[in-house]
Amino acid sequence: MDKANVLDPQTREFYSANASLLAEQYRSAAAGIENWFDVAFPKGSRVLDVGCAAGRDVSLLLRGGWDAFGVDPCPELIDEGLRFDPSLDGRLFTDALPALFTIPDRSFDGVLCSAVLMHLPEETLFDAAFGLRRVLKPGGRLLVSLPIDNTGEPLTGRDERGRFHNGISPERLELLLSRLGFTIIGRGENSDALGRAEKKWVVGLFVLESK
């Protein structure tokens, strides 16, 4: 398995083949994870969006006063983001969990990882969480979102578009991160920013121990 991009081929192909349409959909999203930015990250801090897609949230962070960058495993999505917002040039890069090999240790004050971890193979989740920890400075903040269905259960298996979901629950993610020195300091639920009634998102805000 390519450690630089552990998405399964079917999931990876969906994002690559539909990059233009997805970028347009993401730009139309409203009232999503951005509602947490002011709570999660001090103004002016350096924030990395892991799984940034076409850079929508990176653009929002920049306009909001943060020094934001993004990485995504899909170069087609990054290209779409740069076409739409040229100010993102030099701020979006191709990279992926778990390695994040282009990102130095302890180089960011905050990390955003929204709608990403649920697509990773089960066996890579610990390494992915460790990768998020590695790039954060001690005392840094991690903002994460995971999808659940209308009954509160995590999404499992392949959806109607063929994308893989590993079934990780918010509670299990919290336990995993706690073993790596993270403490949860905020939790809530958001409706789906694309208006999908069958899905909502659990958001967790964590702080990394300062030792």
Sequential pLDDT tens for the chain (211 residues): 344 678 999 999 999 999 999 999 998 887 789 999 999 999 999 999 999 999 999 999 999 999 999 999 999 999 999 999 999 999 999 999 999 999 999 999 999 999 999 999 999 999 999 999 999 999 999 999 999 998 999 999 999 999 999 999 999 999 999 999 999 999 999 888 788 877 899 999 999 998 7
With respect to residue 4, please indicate whether it lies within any of the assigned structural domains.
no
Q: Which two tokens stand for residue 105?
A: 């240790």
- In total, how many domains does the chain have? 1
* pTM for this entry: 0.95
With respect to residue 173, please indicate whether it lies within any of the assigned structural domains.
yes
What are the CB-based long-range contacts (under 8 Å, 24+) for 68-77?
A: 69/93, 69/108, 71/95, 71/96, 71/100, 71/102, 71/103, 72/96, 73/4, 73/5, 73/7, 73/12, 74/12, 74/15, 74/16, 74/19, 76/15, 76/16, 76/19, 77/15, 77/19, 77/22, 77/23, 77/53
Residue 159's domain comprises 9-208
Residue 132: give its domain's CATH number.
3.40.50.150
| Residue pointed to by tokens 């300091």 | 185
With respect to residue 121, please indicate whether it lies within any of the assigned structural domains.
yes
